[in-house]
Amino acid sequence: MTSFAEVYAAVEATIAEHAHAQDEGRVGDMVALYWSDAVVEIPGIATLKGVEAIREAFSRPAWQPDPANPQRHVVANSVVTDWSDREAKVTSDVVMVKFDGAAWAPAIVARYHDEFGESGGRWLLRRRADEYVGYHP
């Protein structure tokens, strides 16, 4: 039987891997953290259904990180709200900061509502729903 600590560590690792891959523009590595039929909900855009839709959206030039002005998704306060040996629901706070050449500043303040499923020892995202708390263009 999988313990709560094992589930928590596994989903935290996936969340961190996702943030690093997204911030570095490694779309393939990011998409590998999703189930093939995963759903991503981001306010203001159509719901993304399946890894190909997720890959296409995050491959768009407007969604790719700018090496001259890097970004970082800082994810914290993750709470596992429900879990079993094979599934988990997690809520996390996220702040995306961007570097404008002189200083880092918050760009987005949000909350992730994630659903994970275990697959071959890895905990992959089945669903991610972003909830924007604050946005600073």
Instruction: List the chain domain ranges.
Output: 4-135
Report the Cα–Cα distance between both ends of the chain, in Å, rounded. 46
Residue, of 31 and 44, whose pLDDT is higher: 31
Second-level CATH architecture of 4-135: Roll (3.10)
Reported as a pLDDT band with limits 50, 70 and 90, residue 134 is: confident
pLDDT at 136 over 80: no
Task: Report the pLDDT value the prediction gives residue 1, as an integer from 0 to 100.
Answer: 82
CA separation, residue 113 to residues 37, 125, 126 (Å): 17, 10, 11
Mark out the alpha helices in 4-97 (DSSP H runs).
Answer: 4-23, 27-31, 51-59
Global confidence as pTM: 0.94
Residue 126's nearest CA partner among 137, 113, 136, 135 is 113
pLDDT digits (tens, 9 = 90+) for 7-23: 999 999 999 999 999 99
**What confidence tens digit (pLDDT) does each residue in 54-79 have?**
999 999 998 899 988 999 999 999 99
Q: Which two tokens stand for residue 88?
A: 């988990």
Q: φ and ψ at 65, to 5 degrees?
A: -65, 150
